[in-house]
Amino acid sequence: MNDIFLKACRGERVPHTPVWIMRQAGRYLKQYQQVRKTVDFLTLCKTPELAAKVTIQPIDALGVDAAILFSDILIPVEAMGLGLKFSEKIGPQFSNPVRDSAGLKKLRIPDPENDLGFVMETIRILRRELAGRVPLIGFAGAPFTTSTYMIEGGTSKNFLNTKRMMFQNPKLYAAIMDKITQALTEYLKGQIAAGAQALQLFDSWGGALSPADFKIYALPYVKEIIKNLRKWQIQEKKQPVPIIYFVGECAGVLEDIKDSGADVAGIDWRISIDAAIKRLGSKISVQGNLDPCALFLPKEKIQERVKDVLTKAKGARGHIFNLGHGILPETPVESAVAVVEAVHKYSGGK
């Protein structure tokens, strides 16, 4: 069993640096495109056999050290009562964004097995099919990032509706965040119960907040989820699974990420990983942080970039190699293979 990813999360000794790639099951893979020809994105997420199939594709194609559940951070939001649509051009759209207390009242806390059973079933299939080959990562959006989609109704440039509510009606915003936090905690418990061996919380838009606002409007809810998951796992007499907290544009809030309670800080490429490690300290592992666009370099240059990240990450408690954001659909698959090979080749034990 390849458990070096889990060991690196916990800061234990590993034979080489583990690597996986955010959005590793995706459009840059022909195998994935084949599947997508037959079903739309949401149907794929909701069909356990197919979701499991595309989850495993990059394990075969790239040789990464972890699998991540194929799904979307908006899946539990849809189950909270918001009508979700995906279009290739516009991206995700909610037909009824939450903008007032009436919207808040309509939000429900989904039951993982009853309302999101297809996710739990995907996890069970994956654990069976992976059979210990690599660990399986479950995930959810972090509450702040989740709230932006719920309030904006889709992607956004400035997050003006979200921040406007935060600033003009902080009680309403806090009540929505409490509901999201509750829903995501249950959802993640469900994933652990179904077999997820690690979790990643995606705060992709966390960096859109000023550090002072991040402390008030993002961090406490992440802490709450992590604390409750830990408590619950101890009650259930299980060893807590490692939790990765990924924040996009994290350079201004690293000290807060350090305080989140997560086992691993996932960082983007806009900061040098050695500078990040210095500020994160020695009690948290680090995941990252190659620029996804670096995969458009020639192979030898990709190897140099990988070596550079590995060298700069040497001071970390533990390091999981990854990109600083999701792999781009235009990426040549050979480049993704080259990254994984280079990580394995150039990271000689720790």
Q: Beta partners for 137?
A: 68, 198
Helix (H, G, I), strand (E, B) or coil at 313: coil
Strand pairing report for 91-94 and 84-87: antiparallel
Active-site residue identified among 65, 99, 115, 149: 149
Question: Taking a C-beta distance cutoff of 8 angstroms, is the pair 345, 11 a contact?
Answer: no
Among 96, 113, 167, 216, binds a copy of itself (CB under 8 A): 167
Minimal distance in Å, beta carbon 272 to a copy of itself? 5
Site for a copy of itself in 251-280 (CB under 8 A): 251-252, 269-272, 275
Residue whose C-alpha is closest to residue 88's, from 54, 42, 48, 52: 42
124 is catalytic: no
**Candidate ranges 2-10, 34-42, 227-235, 287-295; the one touching a copy of itself (CB under 8 A):** 287-295
What is the rounded distance in angstroms from the CA atom of residue 122 to the CA atom of residue 195?
10
323 strand-pairing partners: 290
Contacting a copy of itself (CB under 8 A), which of 1, 39, 160, 216? 160
Q: Does 293 bind a copy of itself (CB under 8 A)?
A: yes
Q: Is the Cβ–Cβ distance between 307 and 346 less than 8 Å?
A: yes
> Cβ of residue 65: shortest distance to a copy of itself, in angstroms?
23
Candidate ranges 36-44, 110-118, 218-226, 323-331; the one touching a copy of itself (CB under 8 A): 323-331
Our answer to whether residue 128 is catalytic in this structure is: no
Q: How many CB atoms lie within 10 A of CB 155?
A: 13
Candidate list 83, 88, 158, 239; residue touching a copy of itself; CB under 8 A: 158
- At residue 70, what is the residue type? F
Distance CA 223, CA 109 (A): 19
Q: Is 245 helix (H, G, I), strand (E, B) or coil?
A: strand
Q: Which stretch binds a copy of itself (CB under 8 A): 42-50, 134-142, 222-230, 286-294?
A: 286-294
Whether residue 149 lies in the annotated active site: yes
Give the total of residues touching a copy of itself (CB under 8 A).
34
- Phi first, then psi: give them for residue 36, nearest 5 degrees: -65, -20
Answer for which of 328, 333, 337, 341 binds a copy of itself (CB under 8 A) is 328
**Binding range to a copy of itself, per CB under 8 A, among 173-181, 201-209, 257-265, 339-347:** 201-209
Residue 283 CB coordination number (10 Å): 9
> How are beta strands 319-323 and 285-290 bridged, if at all?
parallel
> Could you tell me the smallest distance in angstroms from the CB atom of residue 334 to a copy of itself?
14
108 part of the active site: no
Position among 180, 292, 339, 346 found at the interface with a copy of itself (CB under 8 A): 292
- Judged by beta carbon, residue 118 or residue 269, the one nearer a copy of itself is 269
How far from 245 is each of 86, 118, 139, CA to CA, in Å?
26, 24, 10
- 279 tagged catalytic: no
Q: If you count them, how many residues does the chain have?
A: 350
Is residue 60 classed as helix, strand or coil in its secondary structure? helix
69 phi-psi bin (left φ>0, alpha ψ -120 to 50, beta other):
beta
Footprint of a copy of itself on residues 88-127 (CB under 8 A)?
A: none
Could you give the string, one character per residue 210-249, with x where binding to a copy of itself holds by CB under 8 A and - elsewhere? xxxx-----------------------------------x
Of 27, 124, 230, 305, which residue is the catalytic one?
27
Binding residues vs a copy of itself (CB under 8 A)? 158-160, 163-164, 167-168, 207-213, 249, 251-252, 269-272, 275, 291-294, 296-298, 301, 308, 324, 328, 330
Task: Give the active site residues.
Answer: 23, 27, 36, 72, 149
